[in-house]
Amino acid sequence: MKSEVHLSPRQHYEDLFDRITVDSCREIERIYLGYEFDPDKKSGEVPSQAAQDAIRKMNTELRLMWEIGKRYSKREQTINDWIDGDKAKDEMLENAQPPRGIRCNGCAGHMTPSMKTLYDLFNSPDRVLFFFDCDNGCKEKRAMFENGDEYKPKPYLCPDCGSELDDDSERKGDVITTSYKCSDCGHAHKEEMDMTPKKEAIDPNFEKDRKRFCPTGKKAERYVQGVQSMHDVSRLVTEWRQKDKDRPYYDEINKMNKLTVPQLGVQLNDAMKDTGFIKLELSPPDVDQQVVVSFSVQDERSDREGKSSEYDFKRLLKQFLANTNWRLMSDGVHYRLGVLTGRLKGYDREADMMELAKQRLKKGKP
Ligand SMILES: [Zn+2]
Ligand SMILES: [Zn+2]
């Protein structure tokens, strides 16, 4: 039984891959070397001829380096994938078994499969199609899938009356002539199909360009590194832009009064002077993603207790902490028998400080 073979020697796939690379690099050269400079909007001038040539050459080389490096990086994998794909097709074809007991629609005689092929629908062959000839030599043919489903080609309809046309083909050399006849209205016409294998146009510069655009070994690695450093540069530029956008926040962070735990103790104590709040005590800090410190202070004023004591101390804290990297935690401040307790959270990671700066800029500084 005849069937097509998909797998070719490795050289075939390498040639195919390099052909695509050469074509796309040639296209890049055509576009970049042929770039026309627009006159400057203000001065109406264009760069000097020498400058134009230099810019065109530089841009072409950069763009080519990118293309060559990218193509080289995926060359091996792509070729292997192609080979695996073709191997899989051949295996599928080889393993497929023709359906049995197929009979001729003309004479009811036995039919024998003469050819099998992959049914290539939308480029994803998923079924094997068998072609059957009648053992008695009728012209009847049938095409069946492995599971016994019949393949029905779209009927070719008469252009005059719309009935289905009868056809008969004849091959002379590489030309197949098909005669169509309408049994209803008598319409008839012929179509010719030239099967002469197409000669590939000779490309005299292919090998030369292949050497330029499809490097191997150390030379190729240099292109890959070139692509990598271009990636790095574009990442840096993005980072700079981001930094620029974030500059107000960084300025805010720089202005922030960043306090360590001991500094927090000393400065908060100072801020409490003459407010009636005394005896600040900080517990050993709990260090995790942020640093959390519990505090207690005493209120020595006898005219203040409960909520109003809590309120005054919270206001004091808010003012004192506003420009620092510390915040009162959401459980707030609690008053019992002249003692106020609560927890403070300190930030030292860049992302957290950024968040504080954003909040502060959004609210407007107190
Ligand atoms: Zn037959
Ligand atoms: Zn007709």
Per DSSP, the three-state class of 131 is strand
Ligand nearest to the CA of 181: 2
Closest alpha carbon to 99 in 145, 151, 153, 152: 145
The pairs formed by 358-362 with CB atoms below 8 angstroms and a separation of 24 or more are 358/249, 360/252, 360/322, 361/248, 361/249, 361/252
Q: How confident is the model at residue 233, as a pLDDT?
A: 82
Q: CB–CB of 343/292 below 8 Å?
A: yes
pLDDT digits (tens, 9 = 90+) for 210-263: 999 999 889 999 888 888 888 888 788 788 777 777 788 888 888 888 888 888
φ/ψ (deg, to 5) at 130: -110, 140
What ligand has the least distance to the C-alpha of 136?
Answer: 1
List Cα–Cα distances, 199 to 8, 32, 173, 279, 304, in angstroms: 19, 31, 17, 98, 103
Q: Is 65 in contact with 223 (CB distance < 8 Å)? A: yes
What is the pLDDT, as a whole number, of residue 132?
Answer: 95
What percentage of the chain has pLDDT greater than the value 70? Answer: 98
Which domains are assigned to the chain? 2-95 (no CATH), 111-194 (no CATH), 253-363 (3.30.70)
DSSP state of 40: P
> What ligand has the least distance to the C-alpha of 103?
1
Q: What is the pTM of this model?
A: 0.57
What residues pair up with 169 in beta bridges, in sequence order? 178
| Closest C-alpha to 278, from 206, 198, 339 | 339
Tell me how far the alpha carbon of residue 139 lies from the centroid of ligand 1, in angstroms.
7
Task: State pLDDT tens for residues 116-173.
Answer: 998 876 666 678 999 999 999 888 889 999 888 998 878 889 999 989 998 888 888 8
Q: Which residues surround ligand 1, an ion (CB under 5 A)?
A: 104, 106-107, 109, 134, 136, 138, 140
